[in-house]
Structure 1
Amino acid sequence: MGIRRITCPESGLLSARRRACALAVLCVSLLVVSLDNTILNIALPALVVQLHATSTQLQWIVDAYAVVFGGLLLVAGSLGDRIGRKRVFLAGLLGFGAGSAGSAFATGVDAQVVSRAVMGLGAAAVMPATLSIIMDLFRDDRGRARAIGLWSATSGLGIAIGPIAGGWLLARFWWGSVFFVNIPFVVLGAVAALALVPESRDTERRRLDPVGAAASVAGLSGLLWAVIESPQQGWHSPMVLGAGTAALAVLGFFVFWERRTASPMLVLDPFGDRRFSVSVTAVAFAVFVLMGTMFLLTQYLQFALGYSPMAAGLRILPVAGVVAVAAPASTALDRWFGTKAVVASALACLAGGLWVLAGTTPGDGFAHALPGLLLLGLGAGSAIAPATAAMAATLPRDRAGVGSATNGSALQIGGALGVAVFGSLRGPRAVRPVPRLGLVGVTTRRR
């Protein structure tokens, strides 16, 4: 009976070396996609100069990627279950590369936003495919937990090292290099995937859900627009209130529709399992904090403390190092102490990191912010891996694509809202000196 549930019989017969090579290809591809969540942050000052972008336009350049990424994850995940996860993965890589080329050579804000959206479309196909393929490749609990630990470390590491990679590139090349660097990785990843990554799909043919897809994208986009525009137009602006209310109504309809359609994109039943719902919430909160903080911190280091892009990126290196160590280590801690204890401790670390950073002023310097950064890295790295593994354990393998997309949606929606909420709290005060780093005007003073 167990064999009948397998979506890709040949993947269960692969050698350990082949599995390791396939895992490496998937993780490197995910690293490039995750890195683009934050690599642009370090280049935002250059975009102000080169493209004459306003504060709101900067947020849309960042959020265009995250909104499309998060909004289309469920569509891409369900499509992978139906037509083949490797096929969707390869198509996503090519789309991501095309968008990267467009962003590298964009000459205006509108072109940059469109290209970033295309990158988000490609990334939406890549992320759920990587996790669902891993879930199919590694079928024993311990091996799957280790693989998911590496996958989670890669995802968190990409977010953390984005500013470092961006700073290094900007110190040597033109601003478009932060996008152009993706292209060789995309080409190599596609070639390696063709040779090393097995195909898998859901054995049960399911129809697509165009109504659910449209509702999820429209609801999320409207909600983010309201959050981003609120500082400029005011929280009580009729347009902001109208857009926010309409977005919530559309998202409510989305949930209503998904409960009744025969082939839902979003798997709602697992949310009744506390282990699943808490895991998804923990992942969303961890990335919300990490990406929102990175968005403000890169600007704080450059504008308020006067560091160069490269120097600012290097000062974020401790976060990347802690994430890289904490994520794989958390899988062992999970076995020893249990998921609840590990994730709860991780969330406490995130809260502590925010507390330290909220009290940091330009006069305190980087040394005062460093403990907060280390706590953020420890919290994010320790939360994502065990929470993702717990989520995966609640889902059947034949729905791995949709399940992976649900986890990916938590990652990307949390990240998009982090940038939107943290950036909106800075909003119009970005042009006036504000003494606090936490959630307000970090782009205020230059040295």
Structure 2
Amino acid sequence: MSTKPNPVPPITITEEPGILKQPKAVWAVFFACIIAFMGLGLVDPILPAIATQLDAAPSEVTLLFTSYNAVMAVAMLVTGVITSRIGMKKTLLSGIVIIALFSGLGGLSNGIWELIFLRGGWGLGNALFVATALTAIVTLSNSGNAKAIILYEAAIGLGISVGPLLGGWLGAFSWRGPFLGVAVLMVIAFVGLMTMMPKAPASSQVNNKKASLVDPFRALKHRPLFVLGFTAALYNYGFFTLLAFSPFVLGLDEHGLGVVFLGWGILLAVTSVFTAPKLQKWFGTVKAIALMLVLFALALAAMGIWTSTQWVVITAVVIAGALLGNNNTLITTAVMNSTPVNRSTASAAYSFLRFLGGALAPFLAGKLSEIYNPSVPFYTGATVVLLSVVFILMNQKHIHHVDEAEGH
């Protein structure tokens, strides 16, 4: 049985040099990514404070992540349509403006449901920015696609790691501080992109064809892309169980939570750049993804078993950062290699599935803790992550070409 050749050149992490030799436009997007993802980490240390000061249950506070991820998942489907019509720069700037607006309004809100709604608007801005930022860095980079993806994942890791520390410091004054802080940071990012990114770089347009709303759904008909996207949805359930619910069981103040998630984010950033390429070389992409997911499931299980033992939960959270950093780079690279579909469309389809998993986890984690006990959300997260391993291994025949393209 013959297979059609993949017209999109494969990405390999290990052989492309010059990650630091980038045009200034790439660095502008890189630093804007750091600031955008600070928004995710900035909020984490203040979740217990929001629950206390707005008289909200954990399941209500975790909706701040659910609304954010749900809106972002759906909005990912239209990012390609918008970008193909107004261009990358305008899409990035529009996303930044929306993030600044809704985060600023969130800092001025007075009720949990109002804050949940505004957090959803923040997710819309983040979708426009994040999906386009990946495409922009890959398109504008002159060091190869794989290194561009590593650069993007490093920006995510740096933003997530610095965010909690700043969020803990601002949150110690008021829970409103991190929301207002994000708004200010996004204004800085806006100025940086306006001045450093070309208006319409020739290389920014992959093709002149305008994207359609149905393109991502058509892309999901490609079995390899669906397999990796559904795997990411299950894995992201565990990711956001840890991110949204662990602050409620750690028993730390804003500063303490900031430090813990600083360690988590630093390991996430470092491993996404330095160890993911080695794992891909040693094991191949698919086996390395499965290994990281198994270890992550074990970390979540440990958090469930020893929920009331603070040092175990702290250690598991920090170690999970390393596992997540490796997996993020590996699975993003696999997605870009998995299908002949245009990379922007593939990214949108993959992100849609990925963030659906992230939308379900926070709310269910809060509810499960209220109905049963605080250990159950972590057990559930571990089970779902293990299901992602089973799913990817059962469908390995559909994605074996990812490793074959890399010489495994």
With the shorter chain as reference, the TM-score category is 0.7 to 0.9
Whole-Å separation in 1 of the counterparts to 2:128 and 2:246: 29
Q: Is the 8 A contact 1:281 1:410 kept in 2?
A: yes
Matched to 1:35, the amino acid is M
> Over alpha carbons, which structure has the higher Rg?
1
Name the CA distance, whole Å, in 2 between partners of 1:116 and 1:361: 28
Q: Is the 8 A contact 2:83 2:91 kept in 1?
A: yes
Q: Which letter maps to 1:378?
A: A
1:438, distance to aligned residue in structure 2 (A) = 3.1
Q: For 1:103, which of 96, 99, 106 is the aligned residue?
A: 106
Q: Distance in 2 between matches of 1:42 and 1:48?
A: 12
Structure 2 equivalent of residue 9 of structure 1: none
Q: Would you say the 8 A contact 1:284–1:415 is kept in 2?
A: yes
Which letter does structure 1 place at the counterpart of 2:356? Answer: I
Name which of 357, 378, 386 aligns with 1:438.
Answer: 378
Structure 2: give runs of 5+ residues left out of the alignment. 1-7, 9-17, 381-408
Q: What's 1:390 paired with? A: 334
Q: Which amino acid aligns with 2:195?
A: A
Does residue 30 of structure 1 match 2:33?
A: yes
Distance (whole Å) between structure 2 residues aligned to residue 435 and residue 104 of structure 1: 31
CA distance, structure 2, for counterparts of residue 100 and residue 18 of structure 1 = 33
Q: Which is worse superposed, 336-345 or 53-62?
A: 53-62
* AA at the equivalent of 1:33: A
* Identical-pair percentage: 23
1:348 counterpart residue number: 294
Per-residue deviation, residues 211-262 of structure 1 (Å, max 9, x unmatched) = xxxxxxxxxxxxxxxxxxxxxxxxxxxxxxxxxxxxxxxxxxxxxxx4xxxx
1 CA distance for matches of 2:146 and 2:242? 28
Give the aligned length: 359
Gaps of 5+ in 1: 6-14, 210-257, 259-263, 441-447
What is the CA-CA distance between 1:386 and the residue it aligns to?
A: 1.8
Matched, 1:68 2:8: no
Structure 1 counterpart of 2:155: 154
Q: 1:82 to 1:354 in 2, by over 3 A?
A: same
Q: Which amino acid aligns with 2:181?
A: V
Residue of structure 2 aligned with 1:311, choices 230, 234, 256: 256
Residue of 214, 237, 250 corresponding to 1:288: 237
Bigger CA drift: 93-102 or 308-317? 308-317
Name the structure 2 match of 1:228: none
Give 1:435 deviation, angstroms: 6.9
| Counterpart AA for 1:201 | Q
Counterpart of 2:189 in structure 1 is 189
1:300 aligns with one of 249, 252, 260? 249
**Cα deviation code 1:347-369 (max 9, x no counterpart):** 1221221121111132x332x22
Q: Tell me the secondary structure at the aligned position of residue 82 of structure 2.
A: helix
Shift of 1:370: 4.0
Of 367, 374, 387 in structure 2, the residue corresponding to residue 424 of structure 1 is 367
Distance, in Å, in 1 between the alignment partners of 2:98 and 2:377 is 36
| CA-CA distance at 1:161 after TM superposition | 5.1
- The change in CA–CA distance for 1:357 and 1:343 in structure 2 (over 3 A counts) is same
Q: Report what 2:313 is aligned to.
A: 369
Letter of the 1:131 counterpart: L
**Per-residue deviation, residues 173-202 of structure 1 (Å, max 9, x unmatched):** 321111111123212222222233343235
Deviation of the 1:92 alpha carbon: 0.7
Equivalent AA in structure 2 for residue 192 of structure 1: G
Q: Tell me the TM-score normalised to structure 1 length.
A: 0.72
Shift of 1:162: 4.3
Deviation at 1:269, TM superposition (A): 5.4
Give yes or no for the alignment of 1:268 onto 2:188: no
What displacement does 1:283 show?
3.4
**Residues 103 and 18 of structure 1: is their aligned pair in 2 closer, same or farther, counting only changes over 3 Å?**
farther
Measure the CA separation in 1 of the matches of 2:71 and 2:212.
Answer: 18
Distance 1:373 1:113, change over 3 A: closer
CA distance in 2, matches of 1:370, 1:53: 25
Deviation at 1:396, TM superposition (A): 6.0
How far the C-alpha of 1:21 sits from its partner, in A, is 2.9
Judge conservation of contact 1:40–1:163 (CA < 8 Å) in 2.
yes
Given candidates 60, 64, 77, the residue that maps to 2:80 is 77
Q: Secondary structure at the match of 1:174?
A: coil
Give the CA deviation at 1:38. 4.4
Note the C-alpha offset of 1:66: 1.7
Report the CA distance shift for 1:435/1:358 in structure 2 as closer, same or farther (over 3 A).
Answer: closer
Say which SS state the counterpart of residue 53 (structure 1) adopts: coil
CA contact (8 A) 1:29 1:189 kept: yes
Q: Residue type of the partner of 2:279?
A: L
Do the aligned residues in 2 keep the contact of 1:300 with 1:437 (CA within 8 Å)?
no
Deviation at 1:371, TM superposition (A): 4.2
Contact map agreement 2:19 2:147 (CA 8 A) in 1: no
Structure 1 contact 81–400 (Cα < 8 Å) conserved:
no
Residue 331 of structure 1 pairs with residue 277 of structure 2? yes
Shift of 1:271: 2.8
TM-score (norm 2): 0.78
Q: Secondary structure at the match of 2:123?
A: helix
Rounded Cα–Cα distance in structure 1 between residues aligned with 2:39 and 2:379? 22
Structure 1: distance between partners of 2:60 and 2:75: 22
Who is 2:122 aligned against? 119
Task: Indicate whether 1:379 and 2:323 are aligned.
Answer: yes
Are the equivalent residues in 2 in contact too, given 1:280–1:388 (CA < 8 A)? Answer: no
CA contact (8 A) 1:283 1:388 kept: no
1:127-186 CA deviation, whole Å, 9 max, x = no partner? 11001112212366xx22112012123334544554433222222x32111111112321
Residue among 298, 306, 312 paired with 1:360: 306
| Equivalent position SS for 2:166 | helix
- Separation in structure 2 between the aligned mates of residue 46 and residue 438 of structure 1, nearest angstrom: 22
